[in-house]
């Protein structure tokens, strides 16, 4: 954990926020108290602290997902802290595993003092073989905590390259440009894991107009996601380890 604190100064807060949180009960974590507003059913959102995407080896999140009418459970866990390798050799990041229907997605994220960056993906099929791989240059953004972007109404544009290889298609590199907006900073949201005060961000692909909204909670991570193509996921439980 000393490495985590050195790389991400606010990691200690994330660990404090996650202390005692687990998959039993509603999975809430934090210091208690209210945010000054209530959910529609009168539930009081838990006050939390730390980064909007806490990363620590052993952290887990479980989501109920509906994707174009197909329902499944997605399990997400942080497996290791390691050199990302490849075109980003020398950059340390967290390897995250997510179960997506019958496949597994491995993603490497690197946190900085103001954001979390996504560098590399691998898709693993049900037989354990890699079916596709993506490298993002300079990176794909996960969440941005810079002061200018933690204000409701903030808007900015990001572009990155996606170098994609697949077992079924020829390798291709695509430039992706997205318009980002901060829709709310303290939106009260209730999901199966509990009621939270969340940061809501929306990213819109300028090429096809598809948009994805995500809700992040300090010290917890993503609690909800929806997009314009019929995808919805909501957090059911989580565990952020204290002390590694």
DSSP, residue by residue, 160-198: EEEEEEESSS--EEEEEEEEEEEEEEEEEEEETTEEEEE
| Report field, pTM of the whole predicted structure over 0.95 | no
For the chain, what are the domain ranges?
2-239
Q: Where residue 38 falls among pLDDT bands split at 50, 70, 90?
A: low
**How many angstroms separate the CA atoms of 41 and 148, rounded?**
32
Q: In the chain, what percentage of residues exceed pLDDT 70? A: 83
Whole-angstrom distance, CA of residue 172 vs CA of residue 195: 42
β-strands 103-111, 88-100 pairing? antiparallel
Q: State how far the Cα of 1 lies from the Cα of 96, in Å rounded to an integer.
A: 17
Distance CA 95, CA 82 (A): 7
**R_g of the chain, CA atoms, integer Å:** 18
CB atoms within 10 A of CB 69: 6
Q: What is the mean pLDDT of residues 188-196?
A: 97
Residue range 143-157: average pLDDT?
97
Contact 40, 189 (CB under 8 A): no
CATH no. of 2-239: 2.40.360
Between 8 and 170, name the one with better pLDDT: 170
């Amino acid at each position: 954990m000393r490495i985590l604190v050195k790389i991400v100064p606010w990691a200690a807060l994330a660990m404090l926020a996650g202390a005692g949180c687990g998959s039993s009960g509603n999975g809430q974590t934090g210091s208690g108290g209210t945010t000054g507003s209530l959910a529609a059913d009168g539930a009081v959102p838990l006050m939390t602290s730390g980064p909007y995407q806490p990363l620590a080896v052993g952290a887990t999140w479980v989501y109920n997902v509906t994707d174009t009418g197909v329902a499944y459970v997605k399990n997400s866990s942080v497996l290791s802290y390691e050199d990302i390798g490849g075109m980003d050799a020398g950059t340390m990041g967290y390897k995250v595993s997510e179960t997506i229907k019958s496949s597994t997605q491995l993603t490497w994220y690197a946190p900085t003092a103001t954001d979390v960056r996504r560098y590399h993906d691998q898709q693993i099929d049900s037989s354990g073989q890699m079916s596709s791989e993506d490298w993002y240059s300079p990176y794909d953004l996960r969440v941005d905590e810079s002061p200018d972007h933690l204000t409701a109404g903030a808007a900015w544009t990001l572009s990155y390259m996606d170098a994609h290889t697949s077992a079924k298609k020829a390798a291709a590199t695509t430039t992706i440009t997205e318009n980002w907006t901060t829709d709310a900073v303290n939106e009260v949201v209730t999901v199966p894991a509990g009621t939270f005060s969340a940061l809501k961000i929306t990213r819109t692909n300028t090429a096809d107009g598809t948009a994805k909204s995500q809700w992040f909670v300090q010290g917890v991570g993503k609690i909800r996601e929806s997009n314009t193509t019929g995808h919805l996921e909501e957090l059911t439980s989580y565990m952020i380890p204290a002390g590694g």
